[in-house]
Structure 1
Amino acid sequence: MTTDTSHNLSGNQRRKLRSAARFFAVQALFQMETTGQTSESVTAEFTHYRFGEEFEDFDMAEADAGLFRALVTDAVNWQAKIDQMTDRALVAKWPIARIDPTLRALFRAAGAEMLEHDTPPKVVITEFVIVAEAFFPETKEPKFVNAVLDHMAREAKPEAF
């Protein structure tokens, strides 16, 4: 679903589309890193085939395609800056290159939203902690994500705290 039709949706429906876009952005960034695909090919694949995909016993969500594309593009364009912010939020023994590639993709998508969008930092943190819970259920990673993103948000938008 594109953002062009989102004006006809309720606030809750728009929120769900934006949440799905964040989840898909993490998947797309992970896929790009592991397969070497370009952002153009991955965003095309996701918007044409993944959004709303139906399986035998599960349907993928629709997503805010505009936010999805923006997060992937901004994460690629600002990757060095985002990775440096992430490195500063991590302990010295764990540079970004050593962390799980899913977490790396998550930090890049969240960092892109913090740097390039007007979303309040606390919303970005909450949304991406929920994404972390989806990828890492019943583990400590969501708490780790919360701590790293809080540090990144205070650096990116100190005026919000």
Structure 2
Amino acid sequence: MSPLAPKQARSVARLAAVQALYQMEVSGAGAEAVIREFSEHRFDRDVPAESDEDARTLAAADEAFFADLVRGVVGHQREIDSAIARRLATGWKLERIDATVRAMLRAGAYELTHRPDVPTEVAIDEYVELAKSFFEGPEPGFVNGALDAVAQDVRKG
């Protein structure tokens, strides 16, 4: 397997970060434990060719970017959740949103608020594409609208 281009390796890292954030929420595991688990078991460099597509894909993640996303979301969760909640429809609470969508919004909002090296359009598009891979309903549009609104609040110009 050839190494992925840096852009694609970051896309894979985003997928892994969403999975990790979801796992942390449902299991109560801490960030460092989940990062270590992904590093030791899911990002294995010696993935056999006959492994399923998900295993081969995750093996090519940008691990440093993945770890930054997970640590960043956890470290800034109150601020990130507040930025998202400000833009939800009246009466909606972040807790009402599907846990996978919530993980996408948190990771995307972290990139928008704390990773100025990531262009706004890239951060939004990446999580919309992830939403499309998980959901066939209105969720991709919801992710797009919510992250676009957060970007308007936190990225001036």
Shift of 1:59: 4.3
Other-structure match for 2:118: 119
Shift of 1:89: 1.3
Other-structure match for 1:158: 156
Deviation per CA, 1:9-48: give whole Å up to 9, x if none.
7xx7111100000011011001001000000010111122
Q: Distance in 1 between matches of 2:52 and 2:69?
A: 29
Q: Distance in 1 between matches of 2:8 and 2:51?
A: 22
Counterparts of 1:8-23 in structure 2, within 5 Å, are: 13-23=5-15
Q: Distance in 2 between matches of 1:57 and 1:15?
A: 22
What percentage of residue pairs aligned between the two structures are identical?
A: 41
1:130 aligns with 2:129: yes
Amino acid at match of 1:50: R
Q: 1:37 aligns with which of 5, 29, 36?
A: 29
Q: Which runs of 5+ in 1 are unaligned?
A: 1-8
Counterparts of 1:3-82 in structure 2, within 5 Å, are: 13-51=5-43, 56-60=51-55, 61=57, 62-82=60-80
Deviation per CA, 1:93-144: give whole Å up to 9, x if none.
21101111111111111111111112011110001101111111x2111011
Amino acid at match of 2:18: V
SS at match of 2:86: helix
Amino acid at match of 2:40: H
Shift of 1:49: 1.1
Q: Which runs of 5+ in 2 are unaligned?
A: none
Aligned length: 148
Could you list the structure 1 runs, at least 4 aligned residues long, displaced by more than 3 angstroms after superposition.
Answer: 52-57
